[in-house]
Amino acid sequence: MIFIGRLNEFKLIRSPKRWAGATISTMSAPALILRRGQVWEVTDVCDVEIQYLFSAPITFSGSGRLNAGERVCITTEMTDPAPKIVGFVPVRYDELHDGLVPRDIRDTPRYKKYMLSVKTEYFCEHFKLVEDVRQ
């Protein structure tokens, strides 16, 4: 395996023979770059899973959409191998709250907060790193 490209533009090349004709446009090596606390920006409109968290041991989920330019902060602890799902919250958490969480969920007495997630590969296709964190 070979990783080629600049930061935010890595492409995993499984076969070195295909390296010469590869298009470097997406990052497929999240284990090398994704870290908790980093801020990433949506590059185009993308669909996300929403987890509605309650004070009781119960969680509901739904789906939503983030527009290009929205920034998110990674909440998932990265492991080796990389997790299949990346968890994150919007930097504009409060401003997006009403649009991402339905009123009936928000009005539930035990509702506490929401979190977003997508598959790691999808994340790497639709987000770009804008603020790194120190290890």
**pLDDT at position 28:** 45
- Residues forming a β-bridge with 41: 71, 128
Structure tokens at 39: 């801020």
What percentage of the chain reaches a pLDDT higher than 70? 75
Q: List Cβ neighbours of 97 (8 Å cut-off, separation of 6 or more).
A: 106, 114
CA 104 to chain CA centroid, nearest Å: 26
pLDDT in tens, 16-57: 333 333 333 344 444 447 889 999 999 999 999 999 999 977
> How far is 5 from 46, CA to CA, in rounded Å?
23
Handedness of CA 1, 12, 91, 89 (dihedral sign): negative
Residue 30: what pLDDT? 41
